[in-house]
Structures are given as structure tokens and as C-alpha cells.
Amino acid sequence: MSSSNPVVLVTGGARGIGFACCQSFFNAGFDIAVTDMDGDVAQVSARELDPTGERTFAVELNVASTESVNGAFAKVGEHFGRIDVLVNNAGNFRQAPSATYTDEDWEYVTGVHLDGTFRCSRAAYPFLKESQQGAIVSISSIMARIGLPKRLSYVVSKSGIEALTRVLAVEWALDGIRVNAVAPGFTHTRSHDELLGKGLTTNEKLLDAIPIKRLADPMEIGNVVQFLASPTASYITGQTLIVDGGASIDIRI
């Protein structure tokens, strides 16, 4: 039995931008596969979205493992009978000088952002091909285009996600699958709080760099992700939409 509603699978969906994506798709009438490497928080978040449990399904999914990805997609396929949209959102972070970055530091970040986006897109393909509205939206970052020091693997991964977006958009266009990305600016989530907590930057510095003078609320990202996956965006593919309150166009001299 297939769900009568379209189904979205969100990676890293338990918190932050991923959870905001789940909320936005839920409001748009989708059934939601809330997936996260933290399966317990995914359960709690899924229940928060729909206390009846009818329109949500929580699954543990670690994007850094092909076995975990394929197993979780099979479970979601079995539960809802379809997957129409994939949101590649799961993310982590490690900051260190490039010259002393270890292989493990490099793989810790690329294995989630870049490899994870590839793995999940590959696992989603057979489902999206069956859908009449197949779409992928991956979360990049404004940092994909900036030579941000000490975040080499993050910046390279996010640039790679934008390249992957273009290649898959062309390759899968005839299968009716649109592939896009969203590049958020500074967004108020747990990872932002951690950045401030570690003293890596200050709120004042960040606000100074944003013309709109405030951080994004996660829903301001989630709603754009949902828009790109919706029929309203039916002629948009292969693009990365920057959602940053103007931060990336504000160079002060």
C-alpha cells in the first residue's frame, strides 16, 4: 500500500534546518520520513510533528554508511510505499588548519556532506523515478564559494554538492527528477550555538556581516527547500539558491 500523500525523506531531520524542512513539508501535505544518525531524537521530533504518528516515520540513518543508507531507504519504502522527495541535509563540522588536517579529519566531514549526499541520492533514484514529482534538494552553504580558512573539507564538500547537483540534474532530467540545492547563510541552530560556545566567532561579528542584521530562522530555509521541491518550481533544476539575508553580496571596502 502506497501512502496517498507525497513522501519526503529528510536526512539529519531531527534538529535544526533538517527539522524545519520536515515541518515545512508537513505543512504542505507531505508524509515525512524523519531520518537522523540520532534515532532517539528522530523519534521525538517525528512525534512532535504528528502526535498521531500517521504521517511521520522515524528511522535511524547514518549518511556516512552505505549499509545504513540502503537499509533506511528500504524501511521507508516499505513503510510509506513511495519516496517523492529527498532532502540531503545531514551535516557536521570540524575546524583546523589545512596543513595539519588528518585523513580522519578530512573524511569525517567529506564522508557526511559530500559522500553522504551522493549515497542518499543514489539510494533515492529508483523511488524518485517512479514518482510523478521526483525532486532532490541538498543543503549547501554560502561557504561553498568563499575561501574560508580552516574549513577546507567543509568548503570543498559544499562546492562538491553544488557540482553534484548540476550533474544529477542533467543526468536524471529525462527521468522527471529535478535536482537543486539551497545555500543558507548564518542560521540559528545548535551548530551555530556550538560555534559561538567554542569562541570561534561572536554574534556581533556575524550580524555585522549580514545586511538584514539577523540570523535566519531555520523555517526560512525549510520553506525555500520545500518551494524548490514543489510543482511551483517545476522549471528549476541544477540550481543552487542562496538564502542568506544578503551576506554573500556584502563586501565592504
Ligand X SMILES: NC(=O)c1ccc[n+]([C@@H]2O[C@H](COP(=O)([O-])OP(=O)(O)OC[C@H]3O[C@@H](n4cnc5c(N)ncnc54)[C@H](O)[C@@H]3O)[C@@H](O)[C@H]2O)c1
Q: So which residues are the catalytic ones? A: 154
Please state the closest distance from residue 74 (CB atom) to ligand X, in A.
16
Give the residue with the Cβ less far from ligand X, 110 or 131: 110
Write the DSSP assignment of 169-217 as a string of letters: HHHTGGGT-EEEEEEE-SB-SHHHHHHHHTTSS-HHHHHHT-TT-SPBP
Give the residue with the Cβ less far from ligand X, 107 or 175: 107
- Determine the interface stretch with ligand X among 21-29, 126-134, 167-175, 185-193 (rule: CB under 6 A): 185-193
Give the residue with the Cβ less far from ligand X, 134 or 184: 184
Contact between 151 and 143 under an 8 Å Cβ cutoff? The reply is yes
Annotate each residue in 87-116 with x if it binds ligand X (CB under 6 A) or - if it does not, as one string.
--xxxx-------------------x----
- Site for ligand X (CB under 6 A): which residue of 6, 12, 134, 160? 12
Give the residue with the Cβ less far from ligand X, 16 or 134: 16
- Site for ligand X (CB under 6 A): which residue of 5, 187, 240, 248? 187
Contact between 213 and 171 under an 8 Å Cβ cutoff? The reply is no
Give the residue with the Cβ less far from ligand X, 139 or 233: 139
Please state the closest distance from residue 110 (CB atom) to ligand X, in A.
12
Other Cβ atoms within 10 Å of 99 Cβ, number: 6
Per rule CB under 6 A, is residue 62 in the interface with ligand X? yes
Which residues in 63-92 contact ligand X (CB under 6 A)?
63-64, 89-92
Please state the closest distance from residue 175 (CB atom) to ligand X, in A.
25
Chain residues in the site for ligand X (CB under 6 A):
11-12, 14-18, 36-38, 61-64, 89-92, 112, 139, 141, 184, 186-187, 189-192
